[in-house]
Amino acid sequence: MKTYFDIAGDGGSQIVDQVVDIQEKIRHKLSRVKHRLAIASGKGGVGKSTLAMQLAAALRQRGKTVTLLDADLNGPSLAHMAGLQESLFIPGPAGLHVPKTKDGIGVLSLGSMVSEDQAIDFESVAPSESFTWRATREFTTFRDLLAGTDWGTLDYLVIDLPPGAHKCYEFAQFLGSETAFVLVTLPSDVSQGVVRRSVSALKKLKNPLLGYVENMSGYYCADCGKVKPLFPQNTRMNFDIPLLASLPFDPRLATLCDQGQPLAYLFDSPAAQAIHALAENIEKRMEAQP
């Protein structure tokens, strides 16, 4: 049996030509997207997807055309938050049509295709070595979504990335230096320590790192109208990148997300005000990019 070392070049697979071809398709499909913004974190459970949804809603209210891409293929949640769990992926001449909320926010998430009681599986040619294939199949699926979707003309394509410092680095390399990053953390030493690894990883690349968001910086009590601390010691680590916003946790926002209503900005609360301020801050920073 031949090994990889016995095969000359690509072994006749024309893999290089295939990669170049699909990269060109992706460039063409994204050519009318003005800004690409990745919402990332080294830590899971920091509210990254909720933030991406609310940020998209705030940008939309500011008159921007926005589509959300759920890159967390194993744990897609944006379809639920947008109320698009049963939306169909309808093919068209230019690719898949992106399902939209009633307010015109595009949301492409595998959560629209796979029910929440099913695990998303990636078949492997070598079942006993499936763990070595999973990452490759995930990126292949993500690549095919980018290349096979009609993204249209957009002001913002907001990409919700899966957790992990290594994921930040891998997706930054894959998406290219045109994609800017915002990192999300909690005001806890554990969370900030993990996110700091993502900062270190991203600083090795040329992707713009706009700053970070401190999520759940407090608890908003609707009865008393005050924001109460969630963590005993609200220490802030020096990430050497700008703090874009501090967002208190508001239970009403979480309820709206569970109900599939990405309209949390309609009610007046410190969380809603902070999200609007974050959207304005990001707009200014994105417009300042070359």
CATH assignment at residue 61: 3.40.50.300
pLDDT at 5: 62
219-226 LR contacts (CB < 8 Å, sep 24+)? 219/248, 219/249, 220/248, 220/249, 220/250, 220/251, 220/269, 220/270, 220/271, 222/250, 222/251, 222/252, 222/269
Q: What is the pTM of this model?
A: 0.87
pLDDT at 179: 96
pLDDT at 125 over 60: no
pLDDT at 222: 78
Residue 40 within a domain:
yes
Identify the weakest region by mean pLDDT among 72-76, 162-166, 168-172, 229-233.
Answer: 229-233
Residue 255 within a domain:
yes
Tokens read off for 252: 């009403």
Whether the CB-CB separation of 115 and 50 falls below 8 Å is answered with no
Residue 9 within a domain:
no
Whether the CB-CB separation of 42 and 194 falls below 8 Å is answered with yes
Please state the domain count of the chain. Answer: 1
CA 166 to chain centre: 15
Tokens read off for 127: 């079942």
Pairwise pLDDT comparison (140 vs 179), residue with the higher score: 179
Residue 124 confidence class, pLDDT cut points 50, 70, 90:
low
Residue 7 within a domain:
no
Residue 3 within a domain:
no
Mean pLDDT over 106-130 rounds to 69
Which structural domain, as residue segments, surrounds residue 173?
A: 15-287
Mean pLDDT over 157-176 rounds to 91
Residue 12 confidence class, pLDDT cut points 50, 70, 90:
low
Task: Report the alpha-carbon distance of residue 267 to residue 253 in Å, rounded.
Answer: 9
Percent of the chain with pLDDT over 70: 82
Residue 146 within a domain:
yes
Amino acid at 87: S
pLDDT at 183 over 60: yes
Residue 10 within a domain:
no
Residue 164 within a domain:
yes
